[in-house]
Amino acid sequence: MIARAKNKTSPIVGLDDFCNSLPIMKICFLLGPLFFIHSFLFSQVSSVREDLLNEHIQLGKEFHRQGDFSSALMEFNLAFGYLKRNANHQLKEEISGLILETKQKLIDSKKREVVRQAGDGSNGLLPVEEEPKDFKVLHAEGKAVARKVWDNLDGLLPGQTLGVGRLIAVLPNGALEIAGNEPQNYFLRSSENSAFTLAGENTLNLHSGNYCLYTNQNTHKIRLVSADLNFEVFSDKPYVLLVEVSSTQAFLVSCILGRVRVVDQSNGVNLTPGQFIKVDPNQNWIIRQFELSSSLVQKKLLCGLSERPSFFPVFIKQAQAQAKYLRNR
């Protein structure tokens, strides 16, 4: 009886299963078009982003060819904005190179304009309102001034921005800390009687004085120039360096945290904490060891400003560990 009742309610094999599946089929029927529309729109958005990316690149190159470097830089920056969420995009390196090249040509064109205005009898300086925001003043004590390219700035203050090409002088009893805006991401502290030029986004022309150069980036490269000396500093980890340019133009680079490689056209050395390299104007390289605790004599650089640098606690531990090792060896 049970078997006959079952056959009566479902004379066709699998009909119950088919009926039970109807709600699921309805859902699939309703959602299917939505999935299709979503996929279609996503593909269209991706396509539009690539189209806009290529459009900005081409416009930038055309402005660059015409000598309109300001407009070219704007287009390249817009193109770069599309790649912020795609660090491995094949065009990212190319666009970064175009941005750096265009910035340098924009600076050169402004310098030529300064020379032209000077020939016209003006002071040859551009309005400070046109100065790019390549660097930012973080801390300032005493007095530091900015010269060249744009109108003079007497008495730099925290929050002020500076453009590539500026000559900075830190006067007696003064101290200054600046930071490079993206993508440089490095910090420079300078003490009294220091003078340096922001020669490029990643190039510092150090004329005289004492400096603390550090970065919290895992990959960093910077060029240091002084008189006839020209170095590049590479590192794949955060580092802290003390740099001194003597009155005889000797160049001293001391590593107090991290590991760096210092190279010029014919030489190259690796520095670790407690090592320094001294290079004289005759290109003689001398490598020596030193006690990290002795770096504290650079009071203005390490702890003389209103705020100590973020690396200071780590440096103290490193100095203490080295001192203990030297006592026990």
C-alpha 91/C-alpha 303 separation (Å) is 43
| Contacts by 83-88, CB closer than 8 A, 24 or more apart | 83/53
Domains and CATH numbers, the chain: 15-107 (1.20.58), 129-308+315-328 (2.60.120.1440)
Low-confidence ranges of the chain (pLDDT < 70): 1-49, 84-88, 111-124, 182-184, 297-300, 304
pLDDT score at 3: 40
pLDDT score at 277: 92
Q: Quick count: other Cβ atoms within 10 Å of Cβ 36?
A: 10
pLDDT score at 255: 92
Give the helix ranges, DSSP H, for the chain.
2-9, 15-20, 22-66, 69-81, 92-119, 299-302, 312-328
C-alpha 224/C-alpha 241 separation (Å) is 12
pLDDT score at 82: 73
Looking at residue 128, what DSSP letter applies?
G
Give tens-digit pLDDT for 260-301: 999 987 888 999 999 999 988 777 889 999 888 877 766 667
pLDDT score at 292: 85
The chain-wide mean pLDDT, for the chain, equals 77
Structure tokens at 79: 């193109």
Structure tokens at 45: 């958005």
pLDDT score at 297: 66
Residue of 204, 207, 241, 208 whose CA lies nearest to 224: 204
